Structure 1
Amino acid sequence: MNTLPPEPEPVPTAPPSAFQRVISAYERLTETDRAGDWETLRAEEDVLVEAKAIDERVRAGEDLPLAGQLLAAGAGTAIAGLPGDTGLAEVSTVAVQRLTQAGAVVLGRAGKDSVPAVVVSGAADLGVESGIPRREAAFALQATPGLIPDTPVLYARELTAARLAMGVATAADAWPASFRLSAGDHPRVAVPGVAELAPLPVGLRRSFDAVVAACAASGMRIRSFGEPFDVLLTPATLDLAGPGVPTVSVPLGEVGGEPFGITLATAPYEEQLALDLAALLTAAPAGEPYAAASVEFAVFGEQVRGRPLSAWLAELGARYAGDVLTASHYRMVLLAGPEAGVVPGAQSLSGERWRISPAGFEQLRDGLSAPLRITSVRLENGVSLPAITCDPMAESTELTFYRDWRAYLRHLSTAGPRSA
C-alpha cells in the first residue's frame, strides 16, 4: 500500500511578460548579428519602457489581445518618434497605431524586403508593410483593399497571432453589409492543373499534391482551376490569385532545403474562408472570426448543424459559433414540419449560436415562415441574443421534457411521434 502523499498538480508556467519578450528579442539580435535587417532599430531602453507599461495595463485587467507581441514595420512605414522620409514622424500609420493600442510593441523599421526575415528569425512576432506579399517561411496575409489602411500585408510566425492582428488592424466600419463567414462543411477548393504546376520541381509538386489530398480527405470539394470556388489553393511560389485579392500564405516546412508553403485566395471580404482552411492545415485553433461587423443569433430547431435547414444558413454565409443554453425562461414545442418552436416558459433549452453578416441576418429574418420569427432570448450567462423562436399562440405539442431538438429526434427515431 502506498502511503506517500500524492504528487502536487504541476503549476502552469506563466507566459513571458512583454518586458521579458523585449529582453529576449534584443539578446537574439546580438547573438545572430542580424542588425543589418533593420533600417531603424529603436533603443532597447525605450522599447522596455513601453513593454513595462503594457505589462502594467494587463495586470490592471485591461484586455490587450496582442499584449507583448513584438512588431516590425516595413521600410517607409511611419513610426512615431523615428526619422522617416520627411523627418521625424509625429504619428504612426493607422495600422501601427491600432496594433500598438492592442498591446503590440514596435521594435523598429526593417530594411527593404526584410520584414519576413525578421519575423522568421524570431526577432519579431509580427510584421506590417505595404506592397506585394513575399510568401516565404512566415504566414503572410493580405487583406481586401481598404480593410487595413496603409498596410495591406501582415506577416506572423503563428496563425493565431496573425488572425488577432488582422482583427485589431481592420476598421470595423469598412466591412460591407454582405459577406460570408463560412462556406459550410464542404467548401469548394480550386487547385491548379498539371499545366500550371509543370514549372515546379518534382518535390514541390508532390508536396502540393499531398496538401490537396488532405483537403479532400477533410471533406472539401476539389475543383479544377477556372471552376467556381470558395477558396483557391496554390503553391506559394505560383502567383495565380491576381492583384488586390485577399490571400493567406501558409508555411509548411521545407522541401529539398527550400521553404514550402501554400497560398489561399478568396473573393473580397471572404478572408475568413482562407483563415479557416489555414487553421485546418496547421492544426491551429479556429478562434473568433475575422469580421467584426457580424450579427450573433441562436437557433434551436431544424437549423442546428446536421439538420436540413443548416444548409440554408451555409448558403447565407453563416458560421457556427458554439452551443448555447438558455436561461430557465422557455419551453420547446413541436410545430408542423416537423420543426421546433421556442416560447416563454420556465425551463432552459439547448441550442446553437451562429454569426452572420448584417445583410445575411436580414435575409434570414425575411425568409422565415410563420409561426417562426426572430425575437430575443436570454442565455444562462445573462447575455441576450436574437433567436429563431415562434408565435406563442401557434398550434403545437409540448416538447419541453426533451429540452433539446436533437434529443426529441433521437426519441422519434426509436419510439415514434409524440402525441399531443
Structure 2
Amino acid sequence: MNTLPPEPEPVSTAPPSAFQRVISAYERLAETDRAGDWETLRSEEDVLVEAKAIDERVRAGEDLPLAGQLLATGAGTAIAGLPDGPGLAEVSAVAVQRLTQAGAVVLGRAGKASVPAVVGAKAADLGLDTETPGWHTTFALRATSGLIPDTPVVHARELTLARRALAAATEADAWPRTYRLGAGDHPRVAVPNSAALARLPIGVRRSFDAVVAAFSASGMRIQPLGGPFDVLLAPSALDLAEPGSPSVSVPLGEVGGEPFSITLSTAAFEEQLAFDLAALLTAAPAGEPYPATSVEFVVFGEQVRGRPLSAWLAELGARYAGDVLTASHYRMVLLAGPEAGVVPGAQALSGERWAISPDGFERLRAGLVAPLRVTTVRLENGVSLPAVTCDPMAESTELTSYRDWRAYLRFLSTAGSKSAA
C-alpha cells in the first residue's frame, strides 16, 4: 500500500520581467571575465529604467513580441546616448529602434566580430550586426538587402526568437508585392560539389553529409549546385551564396572541437523557404510567415495538399499554414471536374489555410474557373478569411455529410474497390 502523500500540483511561474532579466544579466557580467567581448556597455541604471518601462507597457496590455529580450549590437551601430564619432549619438540605428519598440532592451555594443560571442555566452538574447562569420554558435538570419537598414543580420540562440526579431526589425512597406513563401512539398535543394567540399576537414564533410541525408529523407530534391534551385545548402565555412543573399545559418554543435553550422541561402525576398528548412532541421515551431504583407486564404477542394491543384499553389509561391474548421455556416457540393464547391449552409467544413504574396493572391483569384470564386468564410474561432468557394447557383450534387473533400474521395476509393470485387 502506498502511504506516500500525493505529488503536489506543479506551480506555474510567470516568466521573469524585463527588470529581473536586466539585473540577472549584469550579475552574470560581473561574475565572468568577458569584458573584451564588449566595445561599450550601457550603465545598469539606464538599462533598468528602460526595462521598467517595458514591464509597464506589458502590464498595460501592449503586445510586445520581444518583451525583455536583451540586445547587443555590432561595433559602430548607433545607440542613443553612447559615444558615436566626436560626440554622443542622439538617436539609435533604425533596426535598434524597431527592436526596442517591440520590447527589446539594449545592453550595449559588442566588440568587433563578437556579437555571436556575447549571444552564445548568454550575455545577451539577441544580436544585430552587419555580417555573419564563416562559423556559427548562434542562429544567424540575414535579411534581403533593403529590408533592414544598416544591420541586416540578427543573431539568437533560438530560431523562433531570431525569426521574431527579424520580423520586428523589418519595415512592412519594404516588401514587394510578389515573392515566394513556399516551394511545394519537395523543394529543390542545391549542395556544393565534391571538389568544394574536399577543402573541408573529413569530420565536417561527414556531418554535412548527414544533414543532406536528413533533408533527402524528408522529401527534398537534392541536386548539385549549378542549375535552378529553391534553397542552397552548404557548410557555413564555405561562402558559396551570392553576395548579400538572404540566409539562415544553423548551429549544429561541434566537430573536431570547432563549431559546425550549415547555411541555407535563397533568392531575394524568399527567406521563408530557408526558415522552413531550418525549422525542419531543428524541430523548431514553423511560426508565422516572415513577410508582414502576406495574404491568408482557405481552400477546400482540389487545391488541398496531395491533390492536383496544390501544385498550382506551389507555383504561385503559396505556403501551407495549417488545417482549419469553418463555423457552422456552410455546405459542400460536388462540381464537375470533379471538384468541391462551398456554398452557404448550416454545417462546419474542413479546409486548409495558406499564405501567399499579394500579387500571388490576385493571380490565384484570376486563375479560378467558374463556378469557383473567392469569397469570405468564417472559421470556428471567429476569424474571417478569403476562401475558394463557388457560385451557389451552380449545378451540383450535395456532399455536406462528408464535410471534408478528402473524406469524400476516400469514400469513392472504397466504393470503387467494393464494386470491382
TM-score using structure 1 length: 0.96
> In the aligned structure 2, how far is the partner of 1:237 from the partner of 1:2?
58
Per-residue CA deviations over 1:226-259 (Å, capped at 9, x if unaligned) read: 1211110111111010211111111100011000
For 2:411, give the aligned amino acid.
H
User: Number of aligned pairs?
Assistant: 417
For the pair 1:227 / 2:197, whether they are aligned, the reply is no
What is the Cα deviation at residue 56 of structure 1?
2.2
CA shift for structure 1 position 156: 1.1
Deviation at 1:349, TM superposition (A): 1.2
Contact 1:133 1:141 in 2 (8 A): no
Q: Contact between 1:133 and 1:153, CA under 8 Å: does it hold in 2?
A: no
Is 1:133–1:142's contact at 8 Å kept on the other side of the alignment? no
| 8 Å contact from structure 2 (residues 245, 267) kept in 1 | yes
8 Å contact kept, 2:18–2:69:
yes
- Aligned counterparts of 1:113 and 1:101: Cα–Cα separation in 2: 25
> Any residues of structure 2 matched to 1:161-240 within 5 Å, and which?
161-240=161-240
Helix, strand or coil at the partner of 2:392: coil
Number of the residue aligned with 1:413: 413
CA contact (8 A) 2:134 2:239 kept: no
Higher mean alpha-carbon deviation, 166-175 vs 9-18, is at 9-18
With over 3 angstroms needed to count, the CA separation of the structure-2 counterparts of 1:345 and 1:226, relative to structure 1, is same
Give the match for residue 78 of structure 2: 78
Quote the offset at 1:133 in angstroms.
Answer: 4.6
Deviations 1:164-221 (A, max 9, x none): 0010111111111111111111111110111001111111111111111111111111
Alignment partner of 1:345 is 2:348? no
2:132 touches 2:140 (CA, 8 Å); kept in 1?
no
Superposed displacement of residue 87, structure 1: 1.3
- What are the within-5 Å matches in structure 2 for residues 250-329 of structure 1? 250-329=250-329
What residue is the counterpart of 2:26 in the other structure? 26
Q: Which runs of 5+ in 2 are unaligned?
A: none
Amino acid in the other structure paired with 1:279: A
The Cα of 1:8 is off from its aligned counterpart by: 4.0
Amino acid corresponding to residue 196 of structure 1 in structure 2: A
Q: TM-score, normalised by structure 2?
A: 0.96
The one-letter code of the counterpart of 1:172 is: A
Aligned residue number for residue 355 of structure 1: 355
Structure 1: gaps spanning 5 or more residues: none
Q: CA deviation at 1:415?
A: 2.8
Amino acid at match of 2:70: L
Does structure 1 residue 11 correspond to structure 2 residue 6? no
| Equivalence for 1:120 | 120
RMSD: 1.6
- Give the AA of the match of 1:145: S
> Hey, what does 1:45 align to over in structure 2?
45
Q: Which residue is equivalent to 1:136?
A: 136
**Deviation larger for 222-231 or 7-16:** 7-16
Structure 2 counterpart SS, 1:21: helix
| Matched-pair contact (CA < 8 Å) for 2:349–2:403 | yes
Percent identical: 82
Determine the structure 2 residue equivalent to 1:146: 146
Q: Does 1:65 align with 2:65?
A: yes
Name which of structure 1's ranges 370-379 and 322-331 shifts more when overlaid on structure 2.
Answer: 322-331
Partners of 1:330 and 1:117 lie apart in 2 by: 55
Paired amino acid for 1:107: L
Structure 2 distance, partners of 1:342, 1:3, is 60
**How far did residue 398 of structure 1 move?**
0.6
- TM superposition shift of 1:6: 5.1
Q: Partners in 2 of 1:143 and 1:382 — Cα distance?
A: 34
> Alpha-carbon deviations, 1:33-68, whole Å to 9, x = none?
112211110111211121122122222221111111
Q: Distance in 2 between the 1:12 and 1:405 partners?
A: 42
CA contact (8 A) 1:78 1:89 kept: yes
Aligned residues of 1:324 and 1:352 also touching (Cα < 8 A): yes
For residues 78 and 117 of structure 1, what CA distance do their matches in structure 2 show? 20
- SS of residue in 1 equivalent to 2:414: helix
2:392 corresponds to which residue? Answer: 392
